[in-house]
Homo-oligomer: A and B are copies of this chain.
């Protein structure tokens, strides 16, 4: 455990990946959540996505949310997009940091954006140029990186080849998304190792879901490889559209609590993040799967 990174960069995705998998909430509630998160010390927030409102009605007010939040110095806000049209909307709204998603699984990509993975990659190549011309950056997120709810296992070679194509086309970073929580620590090590063997200098972000309980174990496996960039969702907002009642993204406060105890700095004030998780619970009106929200940090004692 002595070779872990001394710090990691966390991207809070609760307002986007969390809320897009919850019943719709009012614009003001989204603004309140992003503002609460901006005050936790977290340095990156994926605030909205620019997707077709028919596909994901939860994100139809992306422009209003972005216009409504108090942007805090030192916090980088980003938007997720599924295609060039979404990227153009994000740029028009004033984002200068964009994530575009493509699925390694052919079936999942077709269900998501009604085109093949190859077609999405061609459009992403064009998108990267458009975003770069606007002076902004693009991270390409490879979804279903460790498996697909329709196809099952996705071969490592397939995921890595999608990512390498995006690298060749100029992506500023690569994310691997465990869309439905199919990763286990050994698979994390294999994928990161294979990807790096041909792109050793490229920034790698990992986005785990805790659908099958392996989220934080996967984070540990990645930390041991020196990965220092992770997504997480406050309170564990979200869920899994393929498994009602299952957990969604790894929980931000649980991740912060674990890694900070091992000397890995996140910049996050844990108590402030726990408060933000309580805000998230209030907004969605249901109990969220956060453990640290329920139990408190390990140092919280009970009177004897």
- From DSSP, what is the main secondary structure of chain A's interface residues? loop
Identify A299's interface contact among B153, B263, B287, CB under 8 A. B153
Identify A213's interface contact among B153, B181, B251, B299, CB under 8 A. B251
Query: Are the CB atoms of A261 and B184 closer together than 8 Å?
Result: yes
Query: Are the CB atoms of B291 and A185 closer together than 8 Å?
Result: no
Query: Are the CB atoms of A304 and B150 closer together than 8 Å?
Result: yes
Query: Are the CB atoms of A246 and B294 closer together than 8 Å?
Result: yes
The A20-65 residues at the B interface (CB cut-off 8 A) are none
- Nearest Cβ in chain B — how far from A145, in angstroms? 13
The verdict on A184 contacting B258 (CB below 8 Å), with A212-B291, A219-B217 known, is yes
Query: Are the CB atoms of B243 and A187 closer together than 8 Å?
Result: no
**Contact indicator per residue, chain A 208-229, by CB within 8 Å of chain B (1) or not (0):** 0011111011011100000000
Query: Are the CB atoms of A254 and B212 closer together than 8 Å?
Result: yes
Q: Please state the number of chain copies in the assembly.
A: 2
Query: Are the CB atoms of B186 and A149 closer together than 8 Å?
Result: no
The residues of B that contact A286 with a CB separation of less than 8 Å are none
**Contact indicator per residue, chain A 223-251, by CB within 8 Å of chain B (1) or not (0):** 00000000000000000101111110001
Query: Are the CB atoms of A296 and B243 closer together than 8 Å?
Result: yes
Residue of B nearest to A211 (CB): B295
Query: Are the CB atoms of B295 and A220 closer together than 8 Å?
Result: no
Identify A220's interface contact among B147, B185, B187, B291, CB under 8 A. B185
Cα A299 to Cα B150 with chains together (Å)? 10
Residue of B nearest to A189 (CB): B1
What would 15 A/B residue contacts be, using CB atoms closer than 8 Å? A1-B189, A149-B302, A150-B301, A153-B299, A181-B295, A212-B291, A212-B295, A212-B297, A213-B254, A213-B290, A217-B217, A217-B220, A244-B294, A246-B294, A247-B291
Give the 3 A-B CB pairs with smallest separation, nearest first: A213-B254, A213-B291, A243-B295
For the complex with contacts A111-B304, A185-B220, 13 further pairs of A-B residues with Cβ separation under 8 Å are A1-B186, A1-B189, A1-B221, A107-B304, A181-B295, A184-B262, A187-B261, A212-B258, A212-B298, A213-B216, A214-B254, A216-B217, A242-B302
